[in-house]
Structure 1
C-alpha cells in the first residue's frame, strides 16, 4: 500500500491533508507564464513543489508583474497557498492580487485575494463549488514605483482530484 501511494504521489503531485480530507496540489509542475524573468529564476520555480528560498521565481522590476498557471483542466478549488521569499533582499510580495478564471481570456474575472504585503505563507480558502482553470498572481506597484515579484511557491488544492 505504501509503495502504491508513493508512486502515485510522484506522478500526480503533492498532496496535503486538510480536516481529514486529502487534497491534491493541481498546480504542481503545470505550464506557467510570467512577466519578464529576472536572472535564473523561471516561472517553473513557482510550482515545482519546493517551498524553500533558492527555488523562487522572480520578475524584473516593473509597475505591473504577473505569474500565471494553467491547471490544464477545470478543477474545483478549495484552497490557494502562497509562499513568499523570506530570504529576498527586497520585499517582493507587496501589492498582490490573486485571480482565478476558466479561460485564458478571463483570468482576471474573479479576484479571490488582495494583499498589501505577503508575509511568509498566505492561505486563501475558497467557497465550495469554486472552479478554475487558471490562477494568476498580479502585482501592481503604486504610481511612480517599480517592483519585482519574487515568490517561492503557489499551491492550488482541489478536493476532487
Structure 2
C-alpha cells in the first residue's frame, strides 16, 4: 500500500511523511484513537511481513517514510506497551530488555537503571563549613556531597562541617518527591565522625524536623559502620537532613565529614529494593516499595498482585487475564490472540461480533 492510501485510510489520526505515527505515549507522540492504532498495526506490520508476535493496541512506533513501514518502540523506550524509558548510555538500550547491565546514565543506577539520584548537583546548606587558617574560604565545602564525584574518598574529596552543636547538612531537592532511600558515602581515611548521624526527610528548613529515617549507631571509632551506608527513608519530602549532636573523643563539639549523599527515587512503574521490578497498573503507579497498584487493577494483558505478570501468550488475555483465547469465535482458526485485546484476525464467525468475537 502506498503512503497516500495509508494516510487517507487511517481513522482518527493525522500522519506526516517522515514522522512517527501517534501512539499512546502522550508525552512523545500524538494521541490516536484505538481503532486507528490497531488498524496501523495490521496494515503496517503486514506490509513488511513482520513475523514477530504483535501486541495490538499497544504503544508501538510506526515510522512511515517514503512508503516504507517498520514496527518498534520509540527510540529510548522499551518493555510492556513501550511504557518504560531507558536511562542508559547511548547504544545500550534495547526495545525488549531495556538497558545493558552496568551501562546506566549518570545519576541512574540499579540492575535496570530505574533508580535515580535526585540529589545530584542540587543545592545544599549546613551549620557551617570548616575553615582552616590562614585561608578564610571553606576548604571542604558542603557542595562536594552532591557533585557526583567520589574520587578516592579521602579528606580532600569530602565535606567537613565546622564544629558546632547541633551540627547539620541539608540538600534541597527543589520539589516534594516520593523518596525511596538515602545512601551516604563516608570518607575512607577517617571513621570516628560516622557515629551518631541522624537522617531526616522533611518539608521545612527547621532542624531537626520531619520524618525520622535512621540513626547511625557505631562504636566511638566508627569502624563497625559500612563505608557505603544505604538506609531506608521512604516518604514524601523536599529536603534530606543529616543531623548530629554526637562529638568524637577528639572534638569537644560535633563535626561531620562524608563524601557523597545520594537520595534515590524509583522511576514511575517500578518498585523493589533496587527499583528493578515492574508493575503495570491501570490507574496511576504502584507503591515503589511493595509494588501494590492503586484501586482499579491492572492494564489489560497483565495480572498478579503487582500487575507484573503478563498473560500467557495465545492462552489468556484482557484485564487481569480473565478471558480465554479458546472461547473466541474468530473467523480464522489460526488467529493470534493479543494479550491485551484478544482481537481476532480477519473478523468473526457469522453471528458473532466485537473485537474479540465474544
Q: Which runs of 4+ in 1 moved over 6 A?
A: none
Q: Secondary structure at the match of 1:45?
A: helix
- C-alpha separation between the residues in 2 aligned to 1:106 and 1:59? 15
- Corresponding residue number in structure 2 for 1:132: 237
Change (3 A) 1:105 1:35: closer
- In 2: Cα distance, 1:74 partner to 1:83 partner: 24
Higher fraction of strand = 1
Q: Following superposition of structure 1 onto structure 2, how do residues 61-76 of structure 1 map, counting pairs within 5 Å?
A: 61-76=163-178
Give distance in 1, aligned partners of 2:215 and 2:175: 25
**CA deviation string 1:60-103 (max 9, x = no partner):** 22232100000001111111001111213x62222110001123
Segments of structure 2 that go 5 or more residues without pairing to the other structure are 1-75, 77-88, 93-103, 132-138, 219-224, 269-358
Q: 1:149 aligns with which of 239, 256, 272?
A: 256
User: Which residues of 2 match residues 53-92 of structure 1 at below 5 A?
Assistant: 53=154, 54-88=156-190, 91-92=192-193
SS for the counterpart of 2:192 is coil
The separation in 1 between residues aligned to 2:183 and 2:193, in whole angstroms, is 17
> CA 1:49/1:155 → structure 2, altered by over 3 Å: closer, same or farther?
same
**Residue number in structure 1 paired with 2:40:** none
2:110 aligns with one of 17, 34, 42: 17
Normalising by structure 2, report the TM-score: 0.39
Of the candidates 30, 43, 52, which is equivalent to residue 142 of structure 2? Answer: 43
Change (3 A) 1:106 1:138: closer
Larger RCO, structures 1/2 (Cα 8 Å, 6+ apart)? 1
Instruction: Supply the distance in 2 between the matched residues of 1:36 and 1:106 (Cα, whole angstroms).
Output: 14
Q: How many residue pairs get matched?
A: 151
Q: For the residues of structure 2 that align with 1:83 and 1:30, how far apart are their CA atoms?
A: 17
Tell me the equivalent position of 1:3.
90
Unmatched tracts of structure 1, length 5 or more: none
